[in-house]
Amino acid sequence: MADVSVIGAGSWGTALSVVLSGNGHNVTVWSISESEIEMLKTYHEHKEKLPGVKLPESMVFTTDLKVACHDKDLIVLAVPSVYTRSTSVLMSPVVEKDQVIVNVAKGIEENTLMTLSQIIEEEIPQAKVAVMSGPSHAEEVGEKIPTTCVVGAKCKETAEFVQNIFMNEFFRVYISPDVLGIELGGALKNVVALAAGMADGLGYGDNTKAALITRGISEISRLGVKMGCKAETFAGLTGIGDLVVTCASKHSRNRKAGMLMGQGMDPDSAMKEVRMVVEGVYSAKAALSLAHKYGVEVPIIEKVNEILFEGASVKDAVGELMNRARKEEYYGLKWQEM
């Protein structure tokens, strides 16, 4: 049994608190919102973001970060990516030396191009930081539907520690040393999922979806490998696995936002309609900036940026992608001599 805190009471944080409590751990859930904490205390259910999933009476809910962070075996950081730095700043004074923190959000900071674990390490240098990612919608995890994720950390001992705390018969956890690859896959797939949703909104079919998934993972892999990540990571859970589920699932907020844009809604209105943080919108500029920095061609990510921030037409963007110059699928493969 471990003492675990979940920082962030959104749908993902709430679902993970159910996993952790079910594993026999003592769980504390923190939110900056007093009204959210009062709702959780009163109903033991997140009525807005994870309705129908009951939280055990033993769970503790608080707005006090000192209570949430003091003397914990593990801290799970589950706030949206745009709040990772500000929350880390608030946490730093109350986090003890060698405290293990596992970040479960997905994103890249736009102005610094830092991954979320890099932000946490900068703001909470005394902590040991891990990441967890994979094809894992909160709605299904909360219902104990079989799910697999991967935990990344610099030290194998840290990764195994997190793995052991989370793993059970319906939540399987693998480990990997490729922290950067895990984070890039998790962040950039949200941008491609916006494109997949746009195609759905236009009424396109399975062929189009399959093309976006396969060419999207190709873009992510090219960039990741150029940045020093392992190619195997992008063929795994946080690469193709997360991309498939985010592009195809009814639970995907990125796909839903993209679909609304494909149906003619402007990006701001689409995000308001989804009523949850659409991580792909916040990662799109950073993804393109990284591609430019490392000299990698990312046509799908480029077109998503044009639609989000330059007023480009969704339909025109698809046409431009389809009419790009003829290319080989993979360069460097040998042809037989005539």
Catalytic residues: 189
Selection from 285, 286, 276, 304 nearest residue 197 by Cα: 304
What φ, ψ does residue 301 adopt, rounded to 5°?
Answer: -60, -35
Listing DSSP states for 126-172 in one string gives TSEEEEEESS--HHHHHTT--EEEEEEESSHHHHHHHHHHH--SSEE
**Which value, in Å, is the radius of gyration of the alpha carbons in the chain?**
20
Whole-angstrom distance, CA of residue 1 vs CA of residue 72: 12
Number of alpha helices (DSSP H) and beta strands (DSSP E) in the chain: 16, 10
Whole-angstrom distance, CA of residue 133 vs CA of residue 6: 16
Listing DSSP states for 198-223 in one string gives HHHHTT--HHHHHHHHHHHHHHHHHH
Whole-angstrom distance, CA of residue 200 vs CA of residue 325: 25
